[in-house]
Amino acid sequence: MSSQPHPTLNLDPVEIEANLEPVERATMLPPRAFVDPGVLDWELETIFSGWVCVGHASQVAEPGSYMMRELGTDSVVVIGGQDGRTHAFLNVCRHRGARLMEDAEGSVRRRVQCPYHAWSYGLDGELKAAPHMDGVEDFDPSCWGLIPVRVATVAGLVLVDLSGEAPEAEPHVGELAGHLERYRVDDLRRAGQAEYTVAANWKAIAENYSECLHCPGVHPELNALSHYMSGEVIEGAGAWCGGSMTLSEGASTMGREGGGAQGRPAIEGLEGEELSSVLYFVLFPNALVSLHPDYAMLHTLWPRSVDRTEIVCEWFFEPATIAAEGFDPSDAIDFWDQVNREDWRVCELTNKGVRTRGYVPGRYSAEEIDVHAFDVMVAERYMEALREREQVAA
């Protein structure tokens, strides 16, 4: 929905085609994909204008509760309606274009009011009051509601489509929805949140999340709870990639004090190997979801520049677990806060390294299947645009 001219994607098709080869023959994405501001502009205009995860459905479950997210120059508000539905709008007043919401989340009572001239809107976006407009000719309030944004909730995740043209959200999430439903993600509730600013490109963060070859050296505590080679790739339809890792003997979750889970019960319905595994998924483009025996964790990535990404990390538990006397999620939150910061450090080192003159993209190891799968989702979108450019030039 940006009003800016559509940016040009300045990448070499030959380099992108090299990434689309099978992992044993593929070359990683070219450095320009990580360091060229023009590439990020294109990604924000194209990749991030389709389905993007804004957060968990529980954050907009009550009428008036909202989440505000920024993507490049665009800003969207997702809000719970009095009709029980989730609504989404551009975060802009229809009068003089002022931003309506400045906080990332919060709640209003029955209306959204512009802080500039006090135009106010219902939770469904309908214009309710426009001061001093009584004498204006041909002004029909019903035509001046907030500009809607397409929104969908799938298995507890709220997604928006700024383009309004993406295929349906369900095929985008695809078979990942079955895993989210198995872990009752829709029913879980937030018990912790952390925000980070990382001096790295958003893709480097998703790549890092998609492998654990770095875990012995970067995350020794994590590797003690789950051996870095214990994982298995999980495949299925949809715009996602990921797999499982097996908890070490004696550990019941990923957390402090040996992963003892502080006596927390498992998520209802889990059994067998599910009680000794952790599932890690990337839902393209910006959601990192991990499913533990007793909680779920969600990272959402928000590119701010070619070398700066803001990240929101949230922890979700069973409502009954949260309500239990003595509930304390700090073992999980503190553990992952440490792991997060260790990850951010190596992502920032990568950001510095790929900017070096003379650097050429490397090759994938045979264990970096999910890294390659994520990169291919990016590369396929690059190639679609590059082929269209070639057709126009011809």
Residue pLDDT tens, the chain, 394 long: 444 456 889 999 999 999 999 999 999 999 999 999 999 999 999 999 999 999 999 999 999 999 999 999 999 999 999 999 999 999 999 999 999 999 999 999 999 999 999 999 999 999 999 999 998 999 999 999 999 999 999 999 999 999 999 999 999 999 999 999 999 999 999 999 999 999 999 999 999 999 999 999 999 999 999 999 998 999 999 999 999 999 999 999 999 989 988 889 999 999 999 999 999 999 999 999 999 999 999 999 999 999 999 999 999 999 999 999 999 999 999 999 999 999 999 999 999 999 999 999 999 999 999 999 999 999 999 999 999 877 666 5
Alpha-carbon distances, residue 250 vs 113, 226, 261, 270, 275 (angstroms): 54, 11, 11, 18, 12
pLDDT of residue 5: 55
- Mapped onto helix, strand or coil, the DSSP state of residue 192 is strand
CA 3 to chain centre: 24
Query: Same CATH fold, 53-169 and 13-50+170-387?
Result: no
Helix, strand or coil, per DSSP, at residue 275: helix
Helix, strand or coil, per DSSP, at residue 305: strand
Q: What is the pLDDT of residue 392?
A: 65
In the three-class reduction of DSSP (H, G, I as helix; E, B as strand; rest coil), residue 216 is classed as: helix
Give 134: exposed, middle or buried? Use CB within 10 Å, 0-12, 13-18, 19+: exposed
* CATH number for the domain formed by residue range(s) 53-169: 2.102.10.10
Q: What is the pLDDT of residue 388?
A: 85
d(CA 285, CA 327): 33
Spatial CB neighbours of 283, under 8 Å, sequence gap ≥ 6:
53, 157, 173, 176, 238, 239, 240, 289
Q: What is the pLDDT of residue 100?
A: 98
Burial label, 159 (beta-carbon count in 10 A; 0-12, 13-18, 19+): buried
Give Cα separations from 302 to 55, 90, 142, 199, 352 (angstroms): 12, 17, 34, 12, 19
Separation CA 335–CA 258 (nearest Å): 10
Residues 6+ apart with CB under 8 A from 36: 10, 306
Cα(30)–Cα(388) distance, rounded to whole angstroms?
20
Q: Burial of 232 by CB count in 10 Å (0-12 exposed, 13-18 middle, 19+ buried)?
A: exposed
Evaluate whether 245 touches 231 at the Cβ level (below 8 Å).
Answer: yes
Cα–Cα distance measured from residue 53 to residue 300, given in angstroms and rounded to the nearest whole number: 7
How far is CA 314 from each of CA 212, 289, 296, 340, rounded to the nearest angstrom? 21, 10, 8, 12
Which own/partner pairs from 222-231 qualify as long-range (CB within 8 Å, at least 24 positions apart)? 222/254, 222/335, 222/339, 224/248, 225/251, 225/254, 225/258, 225/259, 226/251, 226/254, 226/278, 229/367, 231/280
Domain range list for the chain? 13-50+170-387, 53-169
Could you tell me the CATH superfamily of domain 13-50+170-387? Naphthalene 1,2-dioxygenase Alpha Subunit; Chain A, domain 1 (3.90.380.10)
Which residues have a Cβ under 8 Å from the Cβ of 186 and sit 6 or more positions away?
57, 155, 156, 180
* Preceding omega of 285 cis (within 30 degrees of 0): yes
Per DSSP, the three-state class of 117 is: coil
- 10 Å Cβ neighbour count for 220? 10
Tally the C-alpha atoms within 13 A of residue 368's C-alpha that lie toward its C-beta.
Answer: 23
Contact 314, 193 (CB under 8 A): yes
Would you say 227 and 248 are in contact if contact means Cβ atoms under 8 Å apart?
yes
* pLDDT computed for residue 315 by the predictor: 98
Is the sign of the CA dihedral 301, 304, 306, 310 positive or negative? Answer: negative
